[in-house]
Amino acid sequence: MNINYGENKPLALAVDDDEISLLMIEQILRSHVNLVTKSDGMSALEYLADHSVDLVLLDYNMPGLNGLEVLKDMKHREEMKNVPVIILTADVDIKLETDVFRSGAVDFIRKPFVPMAMQERVLRILQNEYLKQHLQLEVTNQTRLAEQRLSSSMRLFDETILALAKTIDAKDKYTQGHSQRVANYVRQIAQLAGYSPEKQREIYCMGLLHDIGKIGVPTAIINKPTRLTDDEYAIIKTHTTIGYDILTTIEEFPQLAIGARSHHERWDGRGYPDGLIGSNIPIEARMIAVADAYDAMTSRRSYRDVMEQSRVRGEIARGKGAQFDPQFADIMLQLIDEDVDFKMRGSVAEDENS
């Protein structure tokens, strides 16, 4: 996995009172990062107050301040609150795992270290942070280029957003291509609802980036093969507000943020993050909601196969007026009735591979 930091390697800080653990971390990561080591939490905080780092690896069990105490202190300091932190621990307590994520860590790694696994997880987190930091600038630059070069650059903008969507989908090994499929479905819904080609394109782009906030959710939670705990589900739900915060900074296309924030709202008001009800939900988000649900049901998961089309139709029909806007549920049902053997989904897969 390559991360483009230019000529300089990322700078990581490893904090552990065990010298052998620090030596192991240095040996595992030295080809990929410049590593600074500290043996206690207080000296780590002092270092972070004066130096900018790309990642902190923080042992949980240390004398003085333990790892979570250091992490909580970091979250209250402006200069270090956004630094990604991995907690290191030999503890197998499930409650500790929950506390780690609730305190703001991006991941945890258990001791003894498995070198290849540790290296992969650290590099993936660094890649995600790099993408998150450069995402807003990249989309803004591509959008300005599109405005300058009109129609030819509009395609470049679309391709850039599509590439970003594929990057987000790559975090979840069970939903490859999800964002593009949702974007295609929602464009069909908008077309059947009578929207102009310009509005259809706008809604398509919103569909592509509706899940972009997942870049801020730990990969370990997204790819967890078993049922999520309540706390983990609460973390998953933050992808709506994370995505909104990312996309609202793109002044040239402010509508992008609407789909990211509101696609999990429900017609009956029982959705999140704002509990909006009925027509108070942005109309684009209502379209994305039914398209998103359709793709979820027609995608293979770790715990189930693709649902039969008749069952998918029944679930959409049951959600009409409860989970979904009745108008767009009806359009989705029309698309399903015209779609024999998932040909609609297959055509999207062909688009992705072309």
Q: Which of 6, 221, 4 is nearest to 98 (CA)?
A: 221
Tokens matching residue 327? 């108008």
Which residues have a Cβ under 8 Å from the Cβ of 173 and sit 6 or more positions away?
223
Q: Is 214 a catalytic residue?
A: yes
Identify the three-state secondary structure at position 37.
strand
**Cβ atoms within 10 Å, residue 79:** 12
Q: Position of tokens 């999990």? A: 264
Q: Which of 118, 15, 9 is nearest to 65 (CA)?
A: 15
CA gap 188, 126 in Å, rounded: 37
DSSP label at residue 119: H
Contact 118, 138 (CB under 8 A): no
Contact 161, 182 (CB under 8 A): no
| 81, 214, 224, 320: the active-site residue | 214
Catalytically active residues, by annotation: 214
